[in-house]
Amino acid sequence: MYYTKVNQDNCIACGLCQIISPDLFDYTSEGIAFTKMDANAGNAPIPAERFEAFLAAYRKCPTGAILRSESPFPATEQ
Ligand code: SF4
């Protein structure tokens, strides 16, 4: 089981992850990516049927802004 979220400080709003994996990623009005399933909290597991698309986006993000973990990400104050 994997979890993901976007490190929005490193996202350059290139649009790639949403093109590759539109079920998992969406954008703010400024084009900064976030995970759709948990509003970028990183606490909802990636569905098995979307894992291949997730991996493709994860590998192609030009800045490494897409994070991956085998456990839920801790809650952050934002
Ligand atoms: S691929 Fe990376 S840099 Fe591009 S929008 Fe997605 S998270 Fe941001």
- What pLDDT score was predicted for residue 76? 76
Residue 54 within any structural domain of the chain: yes
Residue 43 within any structural domain of the chain: yes
For the chain (length 78 residues), average pLDDT per consecutive 10? Answer: 97 98 97 97 97 98 98 83
Q: How many CA atoms lie within 13 A of 4 on its CB side?
A: 27
- What pLDDT score was predicted for residue 78? 53
Number of domains the chain contains: 1
pTM: 0.95
Among 30, 29, 22, 26, residue whose Cα is nearest residue 6 = 26
CA–centroid distance, residue 32 to ligand 1 (Å): 7
**Ligand 1, from 27, 66, 68: best to mutate by most atoms within 8 Å of Cβ?**
66
Residue 74 within any structural domain of the chain: no
What is the residue type of 55? L
Distance from C-alpha of 15 to C-alpha of 45, rounded to nearest angstrom: 22
Residue 31 within any structural domain of the chain: yes
Residue 78 within any structural domain of the chain: no
Residue 77 within any structural domain of the chain: no
Among 38, 40, 67, residue whose Cα is nearest residue 54 = 67
- What pLDDT score was predicted for residue 70? 98
Q: Supply the range of the domain harboring residue 42.
A: 3-69
Residue 75 within any structural domain of the chain: no
- What pLDDT score was predicted for residue 77? 61
* CATH code of the domain containing 25: 3.30.70.20
